């Protein structure tokens, strides 16, 4: 039985029974003692000094205590939850009460306080829309607010470590976990996920950026070897981590399951020691993913600081007895053990959680619903609106709503990030019975929310299982909304197609009535064989706890459609760097490699631009209910920095939000060399404008977005020359271009603070 099966079978059995206690268990936090006796508890000292002082006071056993974690749920018959852990939680690390060092209570993940498997009890929490949806807002302020909200729920639930901050790039559109991440571009992903982590950590708790790194597909995730060159990884996946870390200073980093160039991520000296700790100067701790540790000395010497959920997931408790043996044999130094403990404590001190212990408190769910709704509605992307079908208007008309359980709720993604919904599951019995299932619909009904907003309109719902009945209802209606869903989750990848004959359903409906709007709830991109026939397409992703309301507000025009794609929608699988996904879900332990040298750093739209492929929908695309003009583009270098300014004008008749995007490219790419693709996203800004209003936007381009990796100099180099600055509404929709001469520049490898 493999780890995944273990997890599936046992969590489903055990979590349901115990999870209710999550809301009622009090956390045993050590009391903060007088700083004179325990100077490391003095919050006026900096985190480094405090960690140094505390480690000096620690016994060897205490050092070993803080570097080893336990799973927070039972996994019968192999593992019984340690009683101190919050039931149903992701993890637990013992504290050192003698020194006032708190226990670590760990919870997943990016959309809220998650629990896995079993039936809901008292573990319902607010769920944000998926990471992909939040990224589709292109609004870092919303990502921050969402992070602050889920971090507050984590704190009020007794958790002081949130395993949130997934920033793996969409290298593989079929990756089942893309919904947890921040899209395909390093700048956009870094800004959005960085803002979320900052929001979480504003609650004085730890957030964990993950999964470091190149963890880009679920098939074979425990074994696959990601092959990629240094320049390519630094200019893509690592750059996303780098940008996010610069903005958020995460207190922890989670190393991934997979291998990178032959070494597991949690024992990868290049990634952990060289890039993260040396180049980027990361001072906090590296925790392993659950089941990602394969050695003691090798892992620890490569930079792993804490083993997560060891007894439950890893083959051995590598960072416990075997590490003591390795120390005795001289394979690991005492200095390194001290450094590991020190890093864990530094993360805790830096977070503020030591002087502000977490405690279980009431949560203001009504206030939090507004936060998740604001996020969801700005993430909804209007992909197509040819016949002006949207926004829907009130009046004596008939609207058909078909499929997707739109009468009762909205879909969410499965796996460890699954939040159980307030009000219970809207749909029972769909998807796998065990982890990463079940398939969970949050009880926020788009149908009810539409009815409330369209008085006088006759709105009929039909579930869509019977194509002929759906077509009949469509034919008798003025406008048809088909709700199509695609469930993605952890531990499996997804073909880019809709399941359960939903394509055929859409075909049947649109044949009966051309005024058909398709409303999608998907983890990421899908193929749309019916695209040319339908009148409008709306991508709502997994929209979270208030998703039904958010969808209805966009469909009725109560708010503008202002989401933009953070990911390219391919027209076919042939367009991808790997038309066939590597690995075989039937042999999860068989080692294999994935060749990321094919695209290198040309991820997503960069690959499409490089190859000249026409995507179904381009990165950055999304329509509004109004129209915008982008004017007076100026690009200049000010004090060595490339500054771009322009005006955005609302040329339509209603208030709306634009997302002007700036792309950069060398004028003569051959002369400059080293660019992975024709253009890179270099800046964006979401702006709201009343009809006729104009606003001026100024952006300073991060110089690394003009640079290439210089292996010899071990840093970034901007080549002198002319660069083209392109302003547009997407990576393919260009409004204006400007040329600018840029001087040569060298940039350090380390993190640059904004």
Residue closer to ligand BGC by CB (options 108, 311) is: 108
DSSP 700-735: E--GGGS-EEETTTTEEEEPPEEEEEEEESSSS-EE
DSSP 322-338: HHHHHHHTTSS-HHHHH
User: How far apart (Å, rounded) are the C-alpha atoms in residues 354 and 346?
Assistant: 11
CB of 97 to ligand BGC, least distance (A): 25
Residue 249 binds ligand BGC, judged by CB under 6 A: no
Give the contacts of 328 (CB within 8 A, at least 6 positions apart).
none
CB of 409 to ligand BGC, least distance (A): 24
Q: Are 479 and 515 in contact (CB under 8 A)?
A: yes
Residue closer to ligand BGC by CB (options 139, 416) is: 416
Residue closer to ligand BGC by CB (options 290, 684) is: 290
Residue nearest to ligand BGC (CB): 416
Residue 496 binds ligand BGC, judged by CB under 6 A: no
- Work out the angle between the directed axes of helices 186-201 and 237-248 (0-180°, nearest 10): 30
Here's the x/- map for ligand BGC, 156-195, by CB under 6 A: it reads as: -------x--------------------------------
CB of 90 to ligand BGC, least distance (A): 4
Residue closer to ligand BGC by CB (options 127, 519) is: 127
Pairing of strands 161-162, 206-212: parallel
Choice among 237, 289, 493, 507 that is catalytic:
289
Residue closer to ligand BGC by CB (options 163, 376) is: 163
Q: Are 417 and 111 in contact (CB under 8 A)?
A: yes
Q: Are 73 and 123 in contact (CB under 8 A)?
A: no
Give the contacts of 229 (CB within 8 A, at least 6 positions apart).
597, 600
CB of 244 to ligand BGC, least distance (A): 16
User: How far apart (Å, rounded) are the C-alpha atoms in residues 532 and 619?
Assistant: 19
- Of residues 40, 68, 222, 290, which one binds ligand BGC by CB under 6 A? 290
Residue closer to ligand BGC by CB (options 379, 414) is: 414
Burial track 214-249 (b if 16+ CB lie within 10 A, e otherwise): bbbbbbbbbbbbbbbeebbbbbbbbbbbbbbbbbbb
Size of the site for ligand BGC (CB under 6 A): 8
CB of 164 to ligand BGC, least distance (A): 8
Q: Are 421 and 570 in contact (CB under 8 A)?
A: no
- Round to the nearest angstrom and report the end-to-end CA distance of the chain: 47
Residue closer to ligand BGC by CB (options 254, 526) is: 254
Residue 289 binds ligand BGC, judged by CB under 6 A: yes
Residue closer to ligand BGC by CB (options 67, 309) is: 309
CB of 83 to ligand BGC, least distance (A): 19
CB of 209 to ligand BGC, least distance (A): 11
Residue of 718, 714, 719, 720 whose CA lies nearest to 750: 714
User: How far apart (Å, rounded) are the C-alpha atoms in residues 683 and 660?
Assistant: 9
Does residue 289 carry a catalytic annotation? yes
CB of 525 to ligand BGC, least distance (A): 22
Q: Reduced to 3 states, what is the DSSP secondary structure of residue 299?
A: helix
Residue of 182, 181, 173 whose CA lies nearest to 526: 173
Residue 416 binds ligand BGC, judged by CB under 6 A: yes
Identify residues 106-125 at the interface with ligand BGC (CB under 6 A). 108-109
Residue 18 binds ligand BGC, judged by CB under 6 A: no
- Of residues 15, 67, 75, 90, which one binds ligand BGC by CB under 6 A? 90
Identify residues 201-230 at the interface with ligand BGC (CB under 6 A). 210
Task: Give catalytic residue positions.
Answer: 289
State the residues that interact with ligand BGC by CB under 6 A.
90, 108-109, 163, 210, 289-290, 416
């Amino acid at each position: 039985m493999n780890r995944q099966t273990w997890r599936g079978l046992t969590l489903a059995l055990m979590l349901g029974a115990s999870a209710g206690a999550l809301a009622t268990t009090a956390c045993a936090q050590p009391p903060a003692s007088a700083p004179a006796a325990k100077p490391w508890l003095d919050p006026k000292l900096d985190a480094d000094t405090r960690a140094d002082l505390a480690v000096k006071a620690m016994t060897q056993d205490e050092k070993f205590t803080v570097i080893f974690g336990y799973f927070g749920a039972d996994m019968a018959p192999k593992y019984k939850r340690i009683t101190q852990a919050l039931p149903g939680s992701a993890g637990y690390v013992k504290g050192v009460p003698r020194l006032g060092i708190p226990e670590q209570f760990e919870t997943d993940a990016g959309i809220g306080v998650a629990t896995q498997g079993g039936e809901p009890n008292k573990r319902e929490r607010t769920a944000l829309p998926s990471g992909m949806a939040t990224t589709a807002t292109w609004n870092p302020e919303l990502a921050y607010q969402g992070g602050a909200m889920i971090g507050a729920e984590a704190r009020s639930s007794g958790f002081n470590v949130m395993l949130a901050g997934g920033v793996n790039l969409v290298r593989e559109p079929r990756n089942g976990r893309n919904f947890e991440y921040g899209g395909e571009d390093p700048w956009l992903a870094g800004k959005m996920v960085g803002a979320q982590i900052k929001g979480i950590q504003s609650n004085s708790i730890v957030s964990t950026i993950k999964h470091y790194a190149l963890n880009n597909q679920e098939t074979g995730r425990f074994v696959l070897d990601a092959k990629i060159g240094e320049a390519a990884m630094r200019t893509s996946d690592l750059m996303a981590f780098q940008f996010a870390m610069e903005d958020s200073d995460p207190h922890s980093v989670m190393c991934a399951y997979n291998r990178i160039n032959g070494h597991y991520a949690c024992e990868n000296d290049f990634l952990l020691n060289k890039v993260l700790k040396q180049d980027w100067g990361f001072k906090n701790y590296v925790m392993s993913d659950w089941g990602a540790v394969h050695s003691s000395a090798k892992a620890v010497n490569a930079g792993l600081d804490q083993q997560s959920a060891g007894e439950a997931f890893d083959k051995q408790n590598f960072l416990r007895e075997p590490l003591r043996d390795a120390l005795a044999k001289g394979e690991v130094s005492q200095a390194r053990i001290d450094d590991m403990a020190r890093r864990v404590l530094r993360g805790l001190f830096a977070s503020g959680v030591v002087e502000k212990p977490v405690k279980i408190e009431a949560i203001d769910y009504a206030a939090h619903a507004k936060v998740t709704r604001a996020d969801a509605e700005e993430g909804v992307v209007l992909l197509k609106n040819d016949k002006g079908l949207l926004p829907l208007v009130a009046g004596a008309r008939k609207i058909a709503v078909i499929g997707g359980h739109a009468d009762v709720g909205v879909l969410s993604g499965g796996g460890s990030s699954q939040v159980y919904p307030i009000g219970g599951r809207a749909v029972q019995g769909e998807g796998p019975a065990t982890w990463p299932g079940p398939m969970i619909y949050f009880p926020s009904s788009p149908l009810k929310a539409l009815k409330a907003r369209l008085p006088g309109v006759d709105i009929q719902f039909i579930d869509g299982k019977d194509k002929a009945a759906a077509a009949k209802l469509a034919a008798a209606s003025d406008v048809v909304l088909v709700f199509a869903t695609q469930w993605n989750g952890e531990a499996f990848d997804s073909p880019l197609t809709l399941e359960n004959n939903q394509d055929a359903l859409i075909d049947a409906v649109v044949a009966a009535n051309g005024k058909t709007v398709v409303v999608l709830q998907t983890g990421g991109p899908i193929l749309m064989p019916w695209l040319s026939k339908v009148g409008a397409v709306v991508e709502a992703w997994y929209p979270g706890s208030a998703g039904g309301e958010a969808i209805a507000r966009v469909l009725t025009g109560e708010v503008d459609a202002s989401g933009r794609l953070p990911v390219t929608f391919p027209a076919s699988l042939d367009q991808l760097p790997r038309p066939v996904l590597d690995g075989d879900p039937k042999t999860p332990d068989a080692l294999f490699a994935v060749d990321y040298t094919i695209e290198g750093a040309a991820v997503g739209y960069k690959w499409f631009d490089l190859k000249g492929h026409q995507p179904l929908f381009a990165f950055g695309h999304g329509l509004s209910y109004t129209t915008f003009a982008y004017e007076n583009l100026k690009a200049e270098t000010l004090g060595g920095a490339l500054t771009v300014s322009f005006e955005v004008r609302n040329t339509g008749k209603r208030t709306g939000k634009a997302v002007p995007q700036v792309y950069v490219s060398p004028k003569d790419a051959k002369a400059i060399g080293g660019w992975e693709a024709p253009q890179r996203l270099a800046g964006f800004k979401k702006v709201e404008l009343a009809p006729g209003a104009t606003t001026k936007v100024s952006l300073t381009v991060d110089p690394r977005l003009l640079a290439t990796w210089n292996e010899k100099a071990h840093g970034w180099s901007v080549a002198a020359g002319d660069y083209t600055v392109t302003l547009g509404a997407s990576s393919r929709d260009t409004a204006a271009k400007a040329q600018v001469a840029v001087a040569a520049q060298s940039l350090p490898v380390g993190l640059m603070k904004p």
